[in-house]
Amino acid sequence: MPLDSLTGAMPFYVTTPIFYVNAAPHLGHAYTTIAADVMARHMRQRGEDVFFLTGTDEHGEPVALAAEAQGMTPRELADKNAERFKALMPQLHASNDFFIRTSDPEHEAKVQEVLQRVHDNGHVYKGLYEGWYCPRCADFKSENEQGPGHTCLIHEIELTREQEENWFFRLSTFQKPLEELLQTEFVQPAARRNEAIAFVAQGLQDVSLTRGKITWGVRVPWDPGHVFYVWFDALLNYYTALSYARDGEDITERFWGEPTTHLIGKDILKFHTIYWPALLMAADLPLPRRVFVHGFLLGGDGRKMSKSLGNVLDPFEVIERFGVDALRFYLMRDVSFGEDGSVSMEGVESRYTTELANDLGNLASRTIKMVQRYRDGAVPDVPLDEGLQRDFAALSGDFCRAMDDFRVSDALEVVWERVRRLNAFVEEQAPWQLAKDEARAGDLDRALASLVEGLRTVGVMLVPYLPERMGALLDALNVEDRTLRAFGEGARVERVGDLEPLFPRIDRAAAA
Ligand code: ME8
Ligand code: MG
């Protein structure tokens, strides 16, 4: 894949949801962050102009209630937990370009500006609201969003009956434009788009834009007794961040709209695929290109992860035992991205052993050792094996197409087919046999050169998934240029150096 120069780079903006600071970071938060990071790193390798945003959602009832329960002020709890989410990013090797907190004064001012415009454009009115409310979702639930006895389907807690005078957002007037929007590729994958279509088909009702009962939020400029309902404040983070993320520079024009992809979990589909585009239309702002909705990670028993069921996979424990790259790889590989899937420590261990240590780790160490043993570390500069060349011909295209569609698991499988192909190539060629026969020195040269080029190709492609370990591999191959290049294209590896085992065996007793 030839690389554009920086002048031709396309802006690419990827976001994660901003996470509630009412609790500590967990595997679900890590999952979305890793997937967004894989995409951001991949696009940078293609030479694109990338901005990757994550952060924390600090206002509203979920946080106010949790703070009260812990005998803290909301701000104290937010400060404490925002730090933990901020610290999570380097632990995951996430390469986010900014970390937004919705308590940032710049964010708050911009929220007021945008929502004042929504008001002035005539999309807001005062009315009385009564309904069933989940304080943990910060969401009013319609009849078909409720479990038996007025309970929350997500949090399995009782809903409260709330009545208050609020400012309303005229969501209902966006029925038609939303129906049309949902006929496009705006929501992906298609199964999730159908969920959004079904929701709109029930008929949209106006929604509360403000709350009078709580004070922990962004003040409503035209009615200072109210704060904005947390979801409107939160959704706007994707837009506000661009105005102040870079010191002294407003990058909104560069990244907002067509370059924008929101990555979310399926639990917050309604807000991102219905409320959010309607709000943007009401504020005369461009829409993002797409919302990609991923599935949920479940416990090893296929049930919702919960401490009481004892089926929680702790990301920090995985990192400690297997390394951060193993966590990243496992989550992108074991659960087909977009769908729900069960995860467990046994699953991590099995993928680690069979794929990372055996398939990839062995390929790398064998290849490097053979070049050292038979050619003193110098990679022969000869034409590459034609069969292998054919088997790699479609790789870059297939890989980039999958990535363009945010199919990060499919993209990984496309690479893994070649990892397996290279292992088969070692067996077919049996360089250790060729090395015994002086007359076959040319065949040995070709086999070694082809293996190294194959290893370089997959190594570069896997950097977004395994940034740390592929960094070590490419260092050993003396590859400085880590932009995407097809097999056989451009400068070849000249010398290999020593490489420690990429994925050392984990001693079960020590790990347990
Ligand atoms: O909803 N599997 O924040 P939140 C996969 N603040 N992903 C999961 C998951 C699981 N089991 N559990 C959580 C909020 N996630 C709002 C968002 S955005 C403007 C405001 C991930 O802390 C997934 O991305 O509850 C989900 O959408 C998100 O965490 C919810 O995080
Ligand atoms: Mg949640």
- What is the fold, at CATH topology level, of the domain defined by 11-295? Rossmann fold (3.40.50)
Ligand sitting nearest the alpha carbon of 58:
1
Alpha-carbon Rg of the chain, whole angstroms? 26
Options 26, 107, 123, 141, the catalytic residue: 26
Q: pTM value?
A: 0.95
Q: Is the CB of 100 under 6 A from ligand 1?
A: no
How many residues are present in the chain?
512
Q: Is 369 labeled as catalytic in the residue annotation? A: no
Residue indicated by tokens 């919302």: 291
Options 29, 107, 226, 272, the catalytic residue: 29
Considering only CA atoms, which residue is closest to atom 31 of ligand 1? 19
Q: Is 26 labeled as catalytic in the residue annotation? A: yes
Q: Which atom of ligand 1 is nearest to the CA of 238?
A: 19
CA triplet 275, 276, 279: central angle to 5 degrees?
85
The domain locations on the chain are: 11-295, 344-509
Q: State the sign of the Cα–Cα–Cα–Cα dihedral 153, 155, 156, 162.
A: negative
Residue 466 near residue 352 (C-beta atoms within 8 A) = no
Note the pLDDT of residue 510: 52
CA of 265 to the centre of ligand 2 (A): 9
Residue 160 near residue 135 (C-beta atoms within 8 A) = yes
CA triplet 429, 430, 434: central angle to 5 degrees?
90
Please indicate whether residue 156 or residue 110 has the higher confidence score (pLDDT): 110
Helix, strand, coil shares, percent, the chain, to 5: 50, 15, 35
Considering only CA atoms, which residue is closest to atom 24 of ligand 1? 265
List pLDDT tens digits, range 331-387: 999 999 999 999 999 999 999 999 999 999 999 999 999 999 999 999 999 999 999
- Compute the mean pLDDT over every residue in the chain, rounded to the nearest whole number: 95
Q: What is d(CA 370, CA 450) in angstroms, rounded to the nearest whole number?
A: 12
Task: Flag whether pLDDT at 228 surpasses 90.
Answer: yes
Q: What is d(CA 188, CA 401) in angstroms, rounded to the nearest whole number?
A: 15
Options 42, 137, 141, 226, the catalytic residue: 137
* Angle between helices 408-429 and 362-375 in degrees, nearest 10: 40
Q: Is the CB of 111 under 6 A from ligand 1?
A: no
Beta bridge partners of 147: 151
CA of 63 to the centre of ligand 2 (A): 11
Q: Is 134 labeled as catalytic in the residue annotation? A: yes
CA of 50 to the centre of ligand 2 (A): 27
Please name the amino acid found at residue 275. Answer: Y
Q: What is d(CA 472, CA 383) in angstroms, rounded to the nearest whole number?
A: 26
Residue indicated by tokens 């977004």: 464
Query: Which among 219, 282, 62 is positioned nearest to 154, based on CA atoms?
Result: 62
* Angle between helices 27-45 and 74-91 in degrees, nearest 10: 50
List pLDDT tens digits, range 56-69: 999 998 899 999 99
Options 86, 150, 155, 266, the catalytic residue: 155
Query: Which among 322, 327, 271 is positioned nearest to 37, based on CA atoms?
Result: 327
Q: Is 109 exposed, middle or buried (0-12, 13-18, 19+ CB in 10 A)?
A: middle
Q: Is 400 labeled as catalytic in the residue annotation? A: no
Report the pLDDT averaged over residues 136-147. 88
CA 305 to mean position of chain CA atoms: 20
Q: Is the CB of 268 under 6 A from ligand 1?
A: yes
Pairing of strands 11-15, 49-57: parallel
Copy the structure tokens of residue 104. Answer: 């940032």
Residue 463 near residue 446 (C-beta atoms within 8 A) = no
Report the pLDDT averaged over residues 65-94. 96
Note the pLDDT of residue 138: 83
C-alpha distances (whole Å) from 359 to each of 322, 353, 477 are 16, 9, 18
Please name the amino acid found at residue 51. Answer: F
Q: Is the CB of 29 under 6 A from ligand 1?
A: yes
CB atoms within 10 A of CB 131: 17
Q: Is 152 labeled as catalytic in the residue annotation? A: yes
Note the pLDDT of residue 2: 43
Note the pLDDT of residue 437: 97
Report the pLDDT averaged over residues 143-171. 92
Report the pLDDT averaged over residues 471-485. 97
Query: Which among 283, 348, 255 is positioned nearest to 13, based on CA atoms?
Result: 255
Considering only CA atoms, which residue is closest to atom 29 of ligand 1? 29
Pairing of strands 297-298, 290-294: unpaired
Residue 309 near residue 303 (C-beta atoms within 8 A) = yes
Q: Which atom of ligand 1 is nearest to the CA of 17?
A: 18
Report the pLDDT averaged over residues 390-402. 98
Q: Is the CB of 25 under 6 A from ligand 1?
A: no
Among 15, 26, 31, 334, the mutation site with the greatest number of ligand 1 atoms within 8 A of its Cβ is 31
Per-residue pLDDT band at 144 (split at 50, 70, 90): confident
Note the pLDDT of residue 508: 63
Q: Which atom of ligand 1 is nearest to the CA of 298?
A: 11
Considering only CA atoms, which residue is closest to atom 12 of ligand 1? 28
Residue indicated by tokens 């002020």: 73
* DSSP assignment letter at 189: S
Q: Is the CB of 89 under 6 A from ligand 1?
A: no
List pLDDT tens digits, range 179-222: 999 999 999 999 999 999 999 999 999 999 999 888 999 999 99
Task: Flag whether pLDDT at 476 surpasses 80.
Answer: yes
Instruction: Name, in order, each residue with C-beta under 8 angstroms of 416's C-beta and a sequence gap of 6 or more.
Output: 355, 359
Copy the structure tokens of residue 400. Answer: 């980039």
User: To the nearest whole percent, how much of the chain has pLDDT over 70?
Assistant: 97
Q: Which atom of ligand 1 is nearest to the CA of 272?
A: 19
Q: Is 328 helix (H, G, I), strand (E, B) or coil?
A: helix
Query: Which among 291, 287, 293, 290 is positioned nearest to 256, based on CA atoms?
Result: 287
Q: Is 42 labeled as catalytic in the residue annotation? A: no
List pLDDT tens digits, range 1-33: 444 444 579 999 999 999 999 989 999 999 999
Options 59, 141, 152, 400, the catalytic residue: 152
Ligand sitting nearest the alpha carbon of 18:
1
List pLDDT tens digits, range 399-409: 999 999 999 99
C-alpha distances (whole Å) from 76 to each of 71, 103, 227 are 10, 12, 19
Considering only CA atoms, which residue is closest to atom 13 of ligand 1? 28
Q: Which of 43-47, 163-167, 194-198, 234-238 is the least confident region? A: 163-167
Beta bridge partners of 160: 133
Q: Is the CB of 15 under 6 A from ligand 1?
A: no
Copy the structure tokens of residue 285. Answer: 């702002």
Q: What is d(CA 55, CA 40) in angstroms, rounded to the nearest whole number?
A: 16
Q: Is 141 labeled as catalytic in the residue annotation? A: no
Q: Is 80 labeled as catalytic in the residue annotation? A: no
Copy the structure tokens of residue 85. Answer: 């989410």
CA of 137 to the centre of ligand 2 (A): 7
List pLDDT tens digits, range 245-272: 999 999 999 999 999 999 999 999 999 9
Q: Is the CB of 19 under 6 A from ligand 1?
A: yes
Which superfamily, per CATH, for 344-509?
Answer: Isoleucyl-tRNA Synthetase; Domain 1 (1.10.730.10)
Residue 228 near residue 244 (C-beta atoms within 8 A) = no
